[in-house]
Amino acid sequence: MKRWLTVAVALAVGMAQGEEGSLSSAGKKKSGWVRLFNGKNLDGWTAKIRGYPAGENFARTFQAEKGVLKVSYEGYGDFGDRFGHLFYKTPFSHYRLRVVYRFVGDQCPGGAGWAWRNSGVMIHSQPPESMGKDQPFPVSVEVQFLGGNGKEERPTANVCTPGTNIVMDGKLVTRHCTNSVSKTYSGDRWVTVEVEVRGNGTIRHIVEGKTVLTYEQPQLDESDPDARNSIRGGEKALKGGYIALQSESHPIEFKKVEILALGE
């Protein structure tokens, strides 16, 4: 897959920049936290929606309005498996990411049952330009967000692994998703999730200040066709990549998307 030849190059450039260099163009705060979403527009972000080329924001799926980054399906009829992702322009390796989100409204018609109040943020992702036109998800590690349905426990900040695997308790984990130990958050309330990422080392998911999931050694899955051709010389370790917000058929809003660089 020719498109995947750019992945290693893009990641190498990002790592060579260093974290401070990669954050220099964003709005840096005195605390060291940097706003990736500026609250006004989608400058610095690129949409990639299944069935469309990178950069085409079909039906204004992603939009900025009144200080909130919205995932909206007002311009859709049927969802039609048009899974989407909004990528920030810069790759990162060692950082702490903070996302404040809430689910709102009704699911888009045609959305899968499992996608009800289901979204997330992708880390260690391939760049949007390297994705195939009809590729539904980037090869990445997903920090999955779930909302409560009033019937069962639905923890948030779980981990899913499109085209990747992770290690937990010293063992390779190849199942697609692993639940966190967070409580269930129902309704349209804002939820704060932080992700502490240490390159190919430890990754922690934190919900409302509590660590709910820990794993390490994110790596490409050689059995996945979208990931396989990016493996060079047997090297599968993921040391960094892009950050992307997800669109999976249920409206969601993001009040904050900000990052703090961490030393290696």
Q: How many domains does the chain have?
A: 1
Query: What is the pLDDT, as a whole number, of residue 229?
Result: 75
Nearest to 112 by CA among 78, 162, 149: 78
CA atoms within 13 A on the CB side of 144: 25
Query: What is the pLDDT, as a whole number, of residue 60?
Result: 98
Lowest-confidence region among 22-36, 84-98, 166-180: 22-36
Q: What is the largest CA-CA distance in the chain?
A: 49
Band (259; pLDDT cuts 50, 70, 90): very high
Strand order in the sheet with 45-49: 45-49, 84-88, 242-247, 118-125, 141-146, 158-160, 177-178
- Nearest-angstrom CA–CA distance, 14 and 7: 11
49 vs 27 pLDDT, higher one: 49
229 vs 45 pLDDT, higher one: 45
Range of the domain at 206: 2-261
Query: What is the pLDDT, as a whole number, of residue 24?
Result: 41
**Which token pair is 4?**
């995947």
User: Model pTM?
Assistant: 0.90
Query: What is the pLDDT, as a whole number, of residue 17?
Result: 33
Q: Give tens-digit pLDDT for 92-139.
A: 999 999 999 999 999 999 999 999 999 999 999 999 999 999 999 999
Query: What is the pLDDT, as a whole number, of residue 87?
Result: 98
Band (14; pLDDT cuts 50, 70, 90): very low
Query: What is the pLDDT, as a whole number, of residue 264?
Result: 80
Contact 58, 82 (CB under 8 A): yes
- C-alpha distance from residue 248 to each of 83, 109, 264 (Å): 5, 12, 33
Query: What is the pLDDT, as a whole number, of residue 15?
Result: 36
- Nearest-angstrom CA–CA distance, 259 and 193: 12
CATH of the domain at 181: 2.60.120.560
Is residue 183 exposed (0-12), middle (13-18) or buried (19+ Cβ within 10 Å)?
A: middle
**Which token pair is 179?**
């639940």
Query: What is the pLDDT, as a whole number, of residue 177?
Result: 98
Query: What is the pLDDT, as a whole number, of residue 125?
Result: 98
21 vs 65 pLDDT, higher one: 65
Q: What is the mean pLDDT of residues 28-32?
A: 63
Percentage of the chain modeled with pLDDT above 90: 85
Residue 3 has pLDDT above 50, yes or no: no
- Nearest-angstrom CA–CA distance, 219 and 212: 21
Q: What is the mean pLDDT of the chain?
A: 90
Q: What is the mean pLDDT of residues 232-258?
A: 96
Q: What is the mean pLDDT of residues 65-69?
A: 96
Band (6; pLDDT cuts 50, 70, 90): very low
DSSP 123: E
Query: What is the pLDDT, as a whole number, of residue 231?
Result: 84
